[in-house]
């Protein structure tokens, strides 16, 4: 089986799906808040990849514009999320989410 | 009419005082509250006087003023307005209510001066005035019922005024519940009238009644008897009189205002107001007369044996109300109202005098611990003596004229049994009233050392109302001097209301009256002499038994031990009611509570709770508290949704589909059923 001349859309989508799934699994199974955070970023970027792929395929700029928005939001989220994690670590000396259970009834 | 009588303002004034008292009463202090309450009632009295003067200025056959304050409700043909009616009958009532009410308000300022709940007392008192004036001035049954319930509520609140005393709150409840029975009758009577008469407005019902009811028929008899049941509740007649003596738990001015002078006469007023209906039902009239006579005699005998000064007066009130009812029962409505007026004067005075005595003796109410007060409380003594003579029926005091007129009417109408009961009642009344007088004011002092020490005459705010009422009790009867052509002053004033129906008057009045008048005068004088003699015997006997030969009373008590026991225990009526009504209801309620409340109602409520508890015990397992678990649920759910939509909408195969797409499609098609 020879490689196609142009990488077809479905390959990008497949990569995006794989990245997203890795992100989901990472969020679900990891205990370290920082790793969970990275996994979330992975999911966001998987979505970005899908957006860009479609934008290219459909010859439309809309998807690329969306990507900029997602990146902006992701940047803000990272800033706040990391701040929270730093504060939690100062308070509890841990970033393992199963040990941060003060609010559990 | 150039000037409006402004009827709405009469009940509105006390209501305004209530609202002001509620809003800013705490800033007014006792003085301010007293001024506010008394001032409002005084202004209401002036407004009433003005309205009555305007009414009197109108021609005799046009002395009816109605005034619609606003339309309350209108459903189809039915309409009920907040409308007020001033005619000679309601004007007399309104004058008595505001006049006597004002005096009692003033008296209360002195009597309640040391009470912590001074403001609350005047709040209730003003609320009562508002309700009573609504009742009296209402121009339809519905608004009258509003006032009727309002005075019932105030009565309850004021009987239980000292609610920390269990006996007071019990008495309040008893009054309320017993009155409810009567009110229920009143309601049913009202429904009956509406069902057949189609209206609740007085003038319309009375105008239409002869056309829709057969005279003496079942329906009119039932309706009037139901209305009378309401009257027996409010006016304390057999079988619903038992609440009134217990109502003496309230402060004494309340007993004077509500349970002697005004509220308890509402039943008499209502019967007089509905005289057109009652006269169409001879059986009801007969029932009214007999109940009145029976109550009059029964209560008078009970009063003989009571030792609590207020209870004697309470039974006396029941008895006097009986007299008013049998006056109505024999058709002498004007005389009934006449007695209502004079009774309001002297009974209010008696209660206020008793209150003055109780106040002076530091809350001692037992007649056996009084005696010899005449020199120590000269004003109270003098005014009480006037009232006692008035109620005993001694000329020329007020009670004599009204009571005599009634007995005369009863005799000439041929109700001899009622007449005998009335005469006996009068004799007993003279006796027990002078027994009270002698025990309290004459003879040696039997005061406790403590009471003796604090003994003092009451302040002027209490004495002045006593004096005014004493003057009224002395001369108030003169509005009804007998032997006048065309009836006495009050009779002529009330004539437009109680006008005999046209047919009878056309036959009677002219020819009849002239002949009968001559016979009547001699008969009336004879009856008068007889009743005075009977009263005198009662008085003399009281003096003899309790003052001159104190052992006579004790001997009599031993000789008539059985009778004394019966009277002292009030014919065991309370015990009887308890046995046949109260206890069965208690027991039935207990059963119902055990079954219906505990098993069914609580069972349903608790059952629902158990179901939710069980369900949540299972569902709680999903709530682990770990964010990861929740995220898993979200991921699984999202995946399921994606799968669902992909399966539900098959995408047609396209030529340019590449390998990956075909592979995914095949996988998904493999899952499709």
CB B87 within 8 A of CB B497: yes
Question: Which residue out of B659, B665, B666, B668 would a mutagenesis test of the A interface target, given it has the greatest number of A Cβ atoms within 10 Å?
Answer: B659
B632, A8: Cβ pair inside 8 Å? no
Residue B184: its H or E element: helix B166-197
A10, B660: Cβ pair inside 8 Å? yes
Please state the length of chain B: 673
Q: How far apart are CA B190 and CA B517, in angstroms?
A: 39
The pLDDT score that the predictor gives to residue B47 is: 93
CB B92 within 8 A of CB B51: no
3-state secondary structure of B69: strand
For residue B628, the chain A residues in CB contact (below 8 A) are 27-29, 97-98
Nearest residue of B to residue A24 by CA position? B635
Instruction: Tally A–B CB contacts below 8 A.
Output: 30
The pLDDT score that the predictor gives to residue A1 is: 59
pLDDT tens, position by position, B85-125: 998 999 999 999 999 999 999 999 989 888 888 999 999 99
Instruction: Judge residue B559's burial from the number of C-beta atoms within 10 Å of its C-beta, 0-12 exposed, 13-18 middle, 19 or more buried.
Output: exposed
CATH number at residue A56: 1.10.287.3510
Is the predicted pLDDT of residue A43 greater than 60, yes or no?
yes
Instruction: Judge residue B267's burial from the number of C-beta atoms within 10 Å of its C-beta, 0-12 exposed, 13-18 middle, 19 or more buried.
Output: buried
Q: How far apart are CA B254 and CA B154, in angstroms?
A: 10
CB atoms < 10 A from the CB of B216, how many? Answer: 12
Residue B71: its H or E element: strand B65-75
Distance from CA of B125 to the nearest CA of A (A): 56
A98, B628: Cβ pair inside 8 Å? yes
Is the predicted pLDDT of residue A21 greater than 50, yes or no?
yes
Residue A81 is part of which domain span?
9-92
For residue B621, the chain A residues in CB contact (below 8 A) are none
Asked, for residue A58, whether it belongs to a domain, the answer is: yes
Nearest residue of B to residue A17 by CA position? B639
Is the predicted pLDDT of residue A98 greater than 90, yes or no?
no
Residues 6 or more apart from B459 whose CB is under 8 A from it? B110, B113
Q: How far is CA B199 from CA B183, B205, B208, B302, B327, in A?
A: 19, 6, 9, 42, 28
A28, B664: Cβ pair inside 8 Å? no
Asked, for residue A14, whether it belongs to a domain, the answer is: yes
The pLDDT score that the predictor gives to residue B95 is: 93
B628, A27: Cβ pair inside 8 Å? yes
Radius of gyration of chain A (CA): 18
Asked, for residue A23, whether it belongs to a domain, the answer is: yes
Q: How far is CA A19 from CA B53, B468, B646, B660, in A?
A: 101, 104, 20, 16
The dihedrals phi and psi of B194, each to the nearest 5 degrees, come to -70, -40
Assess A98–B contact: CB distance below 8 Å, yes or no.
yes
Asked, for residue A45, whether it belongs to a domain, the answer is: yes
Q: How far apart are CA A70 and CA A64, in angstroms?
A: 10
As given in the structure block, the two tokens for residue B206 are 């009375």
User: B491-494, long-range: CB within 8 Å, 24+ apart, which pairs?
Assistant: B491/B334, B491/B335, B491/B338, B493/B88, B493/B92, B494/B88, B494/B89, B494/B92, B494/B333, B494/B334, B494/B337
Q: How far is CA B503 from CA B35, B275, B500, B507, in A?
A: 53, 16, 8, 7
- Cross-strand partners of B86: B65
As given in the structure block, the two tokens for residue B601 are 């109602």
Tally of structural domains, chain A? 1
CA-based nearest residue to B653, from B661, B645, B644: B661
A29, B626: Cβ pair inside 8 Å? no
Assess B626–A contact: CB distance below 8 Å, yes or no.
yes
Q: How far is CA B594 from CA B299, B348, B581, B587, B602, in A?
A: 40, 47, 20, 11, 10
For residue A23, the chain B residues in CB contact (below 8 A) are none
Distance from CA of B604 to the nearest CA of A (A): 30
Question: Which residue out of A8, A17, A33 would a mutagenesis test of the B interface target, given it has the greatest number of B Cβ atoms within 10 Å?
Answer: A8
- Cross-strand partners of B84: B67, B138
Which ranges constitute the DSSP H helices of B370-508? 378-392, 398-412, 416-441, 449-454, 460-475, 489-494, 502-507
Radius of gyration of chain B (CA): 34
Residues 6 or more apart from B627 whose CB is under 8 A from it? A97
Asked, for residue A61, whether it belongs to a domain, the answer is: yes
Assess B660–A contact: CB distance below 8 Å, yes or no.
yes
For residue A11, the chain B residues in CB contact (below 8 A) are 660
Distance from CA of A52 to the nearest CA of B (A): 18
Q: How far apart are CA B534 and CA B527, in angstroms?
A: 10
Assess B4–A contact: CB distance below 8 Å, yes or no.
no
Q: Give the residue carrying structure tokens 């008048």.
A: B517
Binding-face residues of A in 33-52 toward B, CB within 8 A: none
CA-based nearest residue to B397, from B480, B281, B521: B480
Three-state secondary structure readout of chain A: CCCCCCCCHHHHHHHHHHHHHHHHHHHHHCCEHHHHHHHHHHHHHHHHHHHHHHHHHHCCCHHHHHHHHHHHHHHHHHHHHHHHHHHHHHHHCCCEHHHCCCCCC
For residue A27, the chain B residues in CB contact (below 8 A) are 628, 631, 635
Assess A55–B contact: CB distance below 8 Å, yes or no.
no
Assess A15–B contact: CB distance below 8 Å, yes or no.
no
The pLDDT score that the predictor gives to residue B514 is: 44
Q: How far apart are CA B317 and CA B659, in angstroms?
A: 110
B628, A28: Cβ pair inside 8 Å? yes
Choose among B626, B631, B660: nearest Cβ to A11: B660
**Per-residue b or e along B280-298, where b marks 16 or more CB atoms closer than 10 Å to that residue's CB:** bbeebbebbbbbbbbbbbb
Asked, for residue A4, whether it belongs to a domain, the answer is: no
Question: Which residue out of A2, A20, A27, A54 would a mutagenesis test of the B interface target, given it has the greatest number of B Cβ atoms within 10 Å?
Answer: A27
For residue B632, the chain A residues in CB contact (below 8 A) are 28
Asked, for residue A102, whether it belongs to a domain, the answer is: no
A8, B660: Cβ pair inside 8 Å? yes
Is the predicted pLDDT of residue A64 greater than 70, yes or no?
yes
ipTM surpasses cut 0.85: no
The dihedrals phi and psi of B155, each to the nearest 5 degrees, come to -60, -45
The pLDDT score that the predictor gives to residue A69 is: 94
Question: Which residue out of B632, B636, B640, B657 would a mutagenesis test of the A interface target, given it has the greatest number of A Cβ atoms within 10 Å?
Answer: B632
Choose among B627, B659, B661: nearest Cβ to A97: B627
The dihedrals phi and psi of B444, each to the nearest 5 degrees, come to -70, 155
Q: How far apart are CA B456 and CA B460, in angstroms?
A: 12
For residue A101, the chain B residues in CB contact (below 8 A) are 625-626
Distance from CA of A71 to the nearest CA of B (A): 22
Assess B625–A contact: CB distance below 8 Å, yes or no.
yes
A97, B626: Cβ pair inside 8 Å? yes
Nearest residue of A to residue B626 by CA position? A98
Low-confidence ranges of chain B (pLDDT < 70): 1-4, 483-486, 500-520, 649-651, 653, 656-657, 668, 670-673
Distance from CA of B653 to the nearest CA of A (A): 14
Distance from CA of A22 to the nearest CA of B (A): 12
For residue B635, the chain A residues in CB contact (below 8 A) are 24, 27-28
3-state secondary structure of B169: helix
Asked, for residue A20, whether it belongs to a domain, the answer is: yes
Choose among A11, A28, A98: nearest Cβ to B632: A28
């Amino acid at each position: 089986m020879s490689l196609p001349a142009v990488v077809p859309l479905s390959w990008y989508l497949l990569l995006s799906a794989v990245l997203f799934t890795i992100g989901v699994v990472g969020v679900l199974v990891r205990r370290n808040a920082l790793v969970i955070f990275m996994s979330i970023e992975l999911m966001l970027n998987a979505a970005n990849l899908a957006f860009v792929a479609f934008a290219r395929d459909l010859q439309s700029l809309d998807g690329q514009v969306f990507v900029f928005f997602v990146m902006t939001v992701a940047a803000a989220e990272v800033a706040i999320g990391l701040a929270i994690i730093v504060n939690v670590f100062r308070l509890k000396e841990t970033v393992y989410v199963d040990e941060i259970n003060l609010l559990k009834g | 009419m150039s000037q409006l009588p402004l009827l709405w303002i009469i009940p509105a004034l006390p209501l305004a005082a209530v609202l002001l008292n509620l809003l800013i009463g705490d800033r007014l202090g006792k003085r301010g509250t007293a001024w506010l309450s008394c001032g409002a009632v005084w202004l209401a009295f002036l407004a009433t006087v003005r309205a009555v003067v305007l009414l009197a200025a109108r021609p005799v056959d046009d002395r009816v003023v109605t005034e619609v304050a606003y339309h309350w409700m209108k459903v189809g043909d039915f309409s009920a307005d907040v409308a007020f009616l001033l005619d000679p009958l309601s004007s007399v009532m309104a004058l008595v209510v505001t006049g006597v009410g004002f005096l009692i308000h003033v008296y209360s300022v002195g009597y309640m001066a040391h009470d912590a709940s001074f403001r609350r007392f005047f709040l209730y008192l003003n609320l009562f005035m508002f309700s009573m004036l609504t009742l009296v001035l209402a121009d339809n049954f519905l608004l009258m019922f509003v006032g009727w319930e309002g005075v019932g509520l105030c009565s309850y609140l004021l009987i239980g005024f000292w609610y920390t005393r269990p006996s007071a709150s019990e008495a309040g409840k008893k009054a309320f519940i017993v009155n409810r029975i009567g009110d229920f009758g009143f309601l049913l009577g009202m429904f009956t009238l509406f069902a057949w008469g189609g209206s609740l407005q007085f003038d319309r019902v009375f105008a239409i009644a002869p056309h829709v009811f057969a005279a003496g028929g079942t329906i009119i008899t039932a309706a009037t008897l139901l209305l009378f049941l309401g009257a027996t509740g409010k006016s304390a007649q057999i079988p619903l009189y038992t609440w009134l003596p217990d109502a003496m738990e309230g402060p004494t001015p309340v007993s004077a205002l509500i349970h002697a002078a005004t509220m308890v006469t509402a039943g008499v007023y209502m019967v007089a107001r509905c005289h057109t209906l009652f006269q169409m039902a001879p059986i009801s009239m007969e029932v009214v007369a007999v109940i009145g006579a029976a109550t009059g005699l029964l209560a008078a005998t009970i009063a003989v044996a009571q030792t609590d000064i207020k209870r004697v007066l309470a039974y006396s009130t029941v008895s006097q109300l009986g007299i008013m009812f049998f006056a109505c029962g024999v058709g002498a409505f004007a005389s009934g109202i006449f007695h209502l007026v004079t009774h309001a004067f002297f009974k209010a005075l008696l209660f206020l005098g008793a209150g003055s005595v109780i106040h002076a003796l530091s809350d001692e109410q037992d007649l056996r611990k009084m005696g010899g007060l005449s020199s120590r409380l000269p004003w109270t003594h003098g005014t009480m003596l006037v009232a006692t003579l008035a109620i005993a029926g001694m000329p020329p005091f007020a009670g004599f004229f009204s009571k005599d007129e009634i007995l005369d009417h009863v005799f000439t109408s041929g109700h001899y049994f009622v007449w005998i009961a009335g005469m006996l009642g009068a004799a007993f009344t003279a006796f027990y009233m002078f027994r009270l007088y002698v025990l309290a004011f004459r003879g040696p002092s039997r005061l406790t050392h403590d009471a003796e020490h604090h003994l003092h005459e009451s302040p002027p705010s209490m004495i002045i109302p006593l004096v005014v009422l004493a003057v009224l009790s002395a001369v108030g009867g003169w509005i009804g001097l007998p032997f006048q052509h065309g009836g006495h002053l009050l009779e002529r004033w009330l004539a437009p209301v109680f006008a005999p129906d046209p047919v009878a008057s056309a036959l009677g009045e002219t020819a009849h009256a002239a002949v009968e008048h001559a016979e009547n005068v001699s008969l009336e004088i004879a009856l008068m002499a007889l009743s005075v003699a009977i009263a005198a015997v009662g008085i003399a006997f009281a003096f003899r038994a309790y003052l001159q030969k104190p052992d006579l009373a004790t001997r009599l008590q031993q000789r008539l031990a059985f009778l004394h026991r019966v009277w002292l225990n009030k014919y065991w009526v309370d015990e009887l009611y308890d046995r046949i009504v109260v206890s069965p209801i208690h027991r039935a309620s207990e059963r119902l509570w055990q079954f219906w409340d505990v098993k069914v109602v609580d069972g349903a409520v608790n059952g629902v709770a158990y179901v939710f508890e069980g369900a949540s015990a299972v569902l709680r397992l999903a709530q682990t508290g770990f964010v990861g678990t929740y995220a898993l649920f979200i991921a699984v759910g999202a995946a399921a949704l994606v799968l669902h939509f992909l399966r539900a909408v098959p995408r047609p195969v396209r030529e340019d589909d590449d390998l990956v797409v075909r592979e995914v499609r095949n996988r998904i098609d493999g899952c499709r059923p």
